[in-house]
Amino acid sequence: MAKAGVSVAARKMTRQIILGGVAIGGGAPVSVQSMTTTKTADVDGTLQQIYALAAAGADIVRCTCNEREAAEGLARIVPRSPVPIVADIHFHVEMALAALDAGVNGLRLNPGNLRKPEEIKLVAKEAKDRGVPIRIGVNAGSLHPELYKRFGGATPEALVESARQELAYFDEVDFHDVKISVKASSVPLMIEAYRLASETFDFPLHLGVTEAGPPPSGLVKATAGIATLLAEGIGDTIRYSLTADPVEEARAGRQLLEALGLRERRGLDLIACPSCGRAEIDVIGVAKRVQEALEERKIPLQVAVMGCVVNGPGEAREADLGIAAGRHKGHLFIKGKIVRVVPESEMVEALVAEADKIIAEGIEARLAAADGAAEAEAEADRRQLLDEKGADANRSEEVVMRIRKHLDEHKQDRGSQDGASG
């Protein structure tokens, strides 16, 4: 925390929502969000990026859901993600419904793009039934034309009014599990819009300067807007919107919160998969043992504990160090490269010992000291596990089939309505 007498303003107390286990608002720590840049249909590539974002400090990750293949990808991504997943929805109500079918932890709706009241209320009702929060994501660049005309442009008042109108639709179906953003690419406009939103609503606020651009100017703009509001006690979750590797967004967000004393500085950054039917070990138990051992040593590394070798080293490839289980063995990896295979009973001890060596010798030296046969042995174990348990032990294929069925039904209903109206 910040030193006594040099702290930011007391945070405004907002309602609290829970997004996939992460508390937002109501005095909870300010959370860091980012968004994947991969095609969501590319499940393995998207998961690799999600794990990299989690390792860099992201508490929540948003993925686009703009087509059928993206919705199907989410069904396969959500069960394997180490952090809650939010689906980004723009124009198509069926994509919001499909994302809910896929099991996402949250939705982001843009009021300027999804405009039909009956569709907005349908999504809110379905989200309410599933306990899924929604972010009302107002953006100055896509403000509803009527509001733009009424207020004479994208003013703070216009942005807040857009959120208020969306809340009115939600109220009609008794849905209140909401957070709000009123983003703009202009820093002064963004600051004034959030100040007005903070006075108007008691819902948690998600802060960001949209389309901030590439570093270093993008970092400066985003920090200017976000830090100003956080210092005034406004904001419950943040995102840097940079034209860069999203890992830079997550890292910048975490560093900003630490600099303001809003999040504790950390040594060890431990990430672990949420486990699934392929897990060969007690992931929770092993992760706990690793955390206790490495935190005691104050090891400043990003360390991953993965339940199986099928996807683990690839998904957590950005971690400095990790261990994945498979065939009663532990597959030790550094930056995604398998460097050693040890007996399962020695997994934790081997991981801790390797962490000590990395601190003493450096990552490059430890990569150079890798066992040349380790990668081939890990690949053999991976293939055998796939043969025994299948590439998908989360029943996600059943979810994908359900998404396809619902989307096909929705398409048929649309066709019938269009035919009747014609």
Residue 205 confidence (pLDDT): 98
Residue 31 confidence (pLDDT): 98
Residue 308 confidence (pLDDT): 78
Q: Which two tokens stand for residue 85?
A: 């997943």
- Residue 74's pLDDT band (cuts 50, 70, 90): very high
pLDDT at 33 over 70: yes
- The average pLDDT across 356-375 equals 94
Please provide residue 345's backbone torsions phi and psi, each rounded to the nearest 5 degrees: -65, -15
Residue 298 confidence (pLDDT): 81
pLDDT at 418 over 80: no
- The average pLDDT across 5-11 equals 71
Residue 373 confidence (pLDDT): 93
Q: Give residue 206's identity as a one-letter amino acid code.
A: H
- The average pLDDT across 363-373 equals 94
Residue 280 confidence (pLDDT): 60
**Mean pLDDT of the chain, nearest integer:** 90
Residue 392 confidence (pLDDT): 53
pLDDT digits (tens, 9 = 90+) for 281-303: 677 888 899 989 998 888 888 89
Name the more confident of 387 and 367.
367
pLDDT digits (tens, 9 = 90+) for 101-131: 999 999 999 998 888 999 999 999 999 999 9
Name the more confident of 276 and 157.
157
Name the more confident of 220 and 55.
220
- Residue 276's pLDDT band (cuts 50, 70, 90): low
Asked which of 61-70, 307-316, 325-334 is least confident by mean pLDDT, the reply is 307-316
Asked which of 58-67, 193-202, 392-401 is least confident by mean pLDDT, the reply is 392-401
- The average pLDDT across 314-319 equals 85
For residues 53 and 34, give the distance between their C-alpha atoms in angstroms, rounded to a whole number.
7
HEC string of the chain equals CCCCCCCCCCCCCCCCEEECCEEECCCCCCEEEEECCCCCCCHHHHHHHHHHHHHHCCCEEEEECCCHHHHHHHHHHHHHCCCCEEEEECCCHHHHHHHHHHCCCEEEECCCCCCCHHHHHHHHHHHHHHCCCEEEEEEHHHCCHHHHHHHCCCCHHHHHHHHHHHHHHHHHCCCCCEEEEEEECCHHHHHHHHHHHHHHCCCCEEECECCCECCCHHHHHHHHHHHHHHHCCCCCEEECCECCCHHHHHHHHHHHHHHCCCCCCCCCEEEECCCCCCCCCCHHHHHHHHHHHHHHHCCCCEEEEECCCCCHHHHCCCCCEEEEEECCEEEEEECCEEEEEEEHHHHHHHHHHHHHHHHHHCHHHHHHCCCCCHHHHHHHHHHHHHHHHCCCCCCHHHHHHHHHHHHHHHHHHHHHHHHHHC
Q: Give residue 2's identity as a one-letter amino acid code.
A: A
- The average pLDDT across 67-81 equals 96
- The average pLDDT across 261-274 equals 83
* Cβ neighbours of 206 (radius 10 Å): 25
Residue 283 confidence (pLDDT): 79
Q: Name, of 100-109, 259-268, 340-349, 368-377, the range with top average pLDDT.
A: 100-109
For residues 113 and 137, give the distance between their C-alpha atoms in angstroms, rounded to a whole number.
10
Chain length of the chain: 422
Asked which of 37-46, 191-200, 400-409 is least confident by mean pLDDT, the reply is 400-409
For residues 308 and 80, give the distance between their C-alpha atoms in angstroms, rounded to a whole number.
11
Residue 309 confidence (pLDDT): 75
Where do the domains of the chain lie, and which CATH numbers do they carry? 17-259 (3.20.20.20), 269-389 (3.30.413.10)
At CB < 8 A and 24+ separation, what contacts does 116-119 make? 117/169, 119/93
Residue 318 confidence (pLDDT): 85
Its pTM stands at: 0.84
